Chains A and B, each alone.
Chain A
Amino acid sequence: MAFIGRRLLSTLFVLLGVSLVVFLLIQLVPGDPARAVLGMGATQEAVEQIRAELGLDQPLAVQYADYLGGLLQGDLGRSLVLSKDVAEVIGPRFANTILLTVAALVLCIAVGVPLGIIAARHQHSVFDRVAMFICLAGASVPVYWFGLVLIGVFGVTLGWFPTSGMFNTRNPGGLPDLLLHLVLPAVAAALVPLAVIARMSRSAMVDVLNQDYIRTLRASGLQERSLLWRHGLRNALPPIANIIGLQVGYLLGGVIFVEVVFGWPGLGQQLYTSITARDIPVVQAGVLFIALAFVLVNLLADITVNLLDPRTRRRSA
């Protein structure tokens, strides 16, 4: 429990730092942020109004205190372009992003981890070499380009899957329609983290299989399958869980591109639109929420690792 307490405390510190970095983003806009938002032709009055609206006429410390106070009450500010509260813009989109991310993550775990374990079991075999080379190549693929290739092959040429959006716009069809629209974006987002997870799972499993207790179990006549999936996996899981937690960061980054390519109405697509429109408060909120999701996932991953690993469990008890 002491571990969890310490971990929560450091997470709190990191979250505070994240809010500060996100707050400072607007200060990085070259020149006067208010003018940058409005463009060169804006009147002085309009600029002053935006400055007041964004609180830019206050000292920096006061601005941050206001910002943080607002955040804690769920107030993310007001969009400069959409004449809506940022929370209204971000909220529904965040749910869509989570849906896409979870779908991709399930793919990563369901395919990546077994792939790595089987490769480790048949270390140096043709399967191992080919699979691991493909994964190395997979880890080098630009996500947005892979999305386009999927659209070209499975959307345009074969016509199996829709290429854009979450639902059929003319004839929305509920859950089956949603799942059909989810396939290509989820595969596109999953590729890179899946490849990395497979490679890391392989090396974690190879380490475990080289340990003495596995040799002893094998010598005592235990079946290879139970050796691998029962005794081996149990000890390989903590490092694998760790890697999965870190890969969620890459996944969330990749999802931004996937949403733009596939027109998926999530945070990433909103971020893209708002960047183009220089709607800085929405950009800030989008960045904040994605970082928040990443921090929480890593917190969960760390606690899971702690619970899975008998060694750390004993130490913290």
Chain B
Amino acid sequence: MSTTTTAEVAGKAPVAAGPPLAPRTAKSPRFKLALRAFSRDKAAVVSAAVLVLVVLASIFAPLLTPYDPTVGSASERLSGIGTPGHPLGLDGQGRDILSRLLHGGRNSLLVGVVPVAVVFPLALMIGLLAGYTHGVVSGIIMRLLDVLFAFPLVLLAIALSAVLGAGMDNIMLSIGVTLVPYMARVAYTATVQETEKEYIEAARAYGATTREILWRELAPNVVTALVVYATTLCGLMIVVASGLSFLGVGITPPTPDWGIMTSDGASVLLEGKFHVATIPGLMILIVALAFNLVGDGVRDALDPRKQTS
């Protein structure tokens, strides 16, 4: 049974502690099958397209928008959607909302996605070692993670950001630390489930070393479970990170960010100017939902039982 292609789908090789995996090619049948299954899932394909569009628009924001996202014109302050030259209107300081939205995407997306990507290999390693070896060290690590689980996710992120201080690096650090127990537990559960399967028994029977079993046999399958979870988490973390900025412990103004934009909108809400807060919030919702749908699509596409129909 070839189990290496799932790592290819992940786009991330497992941490380089073990022997190199068998050659991975995009032409391998399992990758093809998964890709075909994914392309049949309309919601997932549309969501993936939305995400690509948002990422591209954020990257090329300076080229796409004629306005400086941090400078406003007081005379047009709070003009609504459809103002000539400002399709999404202007905020309380007279700044173009569309420009801020695209520029803000750079920060809002990064602070959600980077921590997930950075914690991924760490969580994989903890999950694999704790799930397969049942050693003393891994046991202690799992107990420590239990302690972190006692804090509601958002609360721990807020607490860490609050003491570390605002700023891009600190939010990513706070969110990263908060994620470790969640991602490690998913890797751990997947490892325990896979260990009970016959191919692991077979590998043991023909004399594979623990290292080989961990990295060659278990890792690719655990990576699959973790990729699905990580995709969904990216959406959730974009929401959480925007919340930190909303509370003032995240990205600092005047840097554009969707959470800060919503917070700016909150202050003019009672004046009846709804568009300032509504637009960035809607953007966060769309991106988070798209990550969720892509995550569902990836999960189904990687499930061999659902690939052939």
User: Which residues of chain A have a CB within 8 Å of any CB of chain B?
Assistant: 10, 13-15, 17-18, 20-22, 25-26, 28-30, 136-137, 139-146, 148-149, 151-152, 156-157, 163, 249-250, 252-254, 256-257, 260-261, 271-272, 275-276, 280, 283, 287, 290-291, 294-295
CB of B147 closer than 8 Å to a CB of A: yes
Q: Is B162 touching A294 in the complex (CB atoms < 8 A)? A: no
Kindly state the separation between the CA atoms of A291 and B242 in the bound complex, as whole angstroms: 22
Q: Is A17 touching B274 in the complex (CB atoms < 8 A)? A: no
CB of B144 closer than 8 Å to a CB of A: yes
Task: Give a binary string over B152-177; 1 marks a CB under 8 Å from any A CB, 0 the rest.
Answer: 11110011101111000000000000
Question: A275 to nearest B CB, angstroms?
Answer: 4
Q: Is A145 touching B151 in the complex (CB atoms < 8 A)? A: no
In the complex, the chain A residue whose C-beta lies closest to that of B157 is A253
Kindly state the separation between the CA atoms of A152 and B233 in the bound complex, as whole angstroms: 29
Known contacts A257-B243, A280-B163; decide if A148 and B147 are in contact (CB<8 Å): no
Chain A residues with CB under 8 Å of B152's CB are 249-250, 252-253, 290-291, 294
Q: Which of A10, A18, A253 contacts B153 (CB 8 A)?
A: A253
Q: Is A276 touching B265 in the complex (CB atoms < 8 A)? A: no
CB of B272 closer than 8 Å to a CB of A: yes
Kindly state the separation between the CA atoms of A256 and B274 in the bound complex, as whole angstroms: 22
The size bracket of the interface on B is: 35 or more
Chain B residues with CB under 8 Å of A272's CB are 247-248
Kindly state the separation between the CA atoms of A54 and B160 in the bound complex, as whole angstroms: 19
Q: Is B247 touching A17 in the complex (CB atoms < 8 A)? A: no
CB of B292 closer than 8 Å to a CB of A: yes
A-B contact pairs, 5 of them (CB 8 A): A140-B239, A140-B288, A145-B280, A257-B243, A280-B163
The 7 nearest A-B residue pairs measured at CB: A253-B154, A17-B147, A145-B281, A140-B288, A249-B152, A253-B152, A275-B162
Q: Which of A15, A156, A254, A260 contacts B270 (CB 8 A)?
A: A156
Q: Which of B153, B165, B281 contacts A249 (CB 8 A)?
A: B153
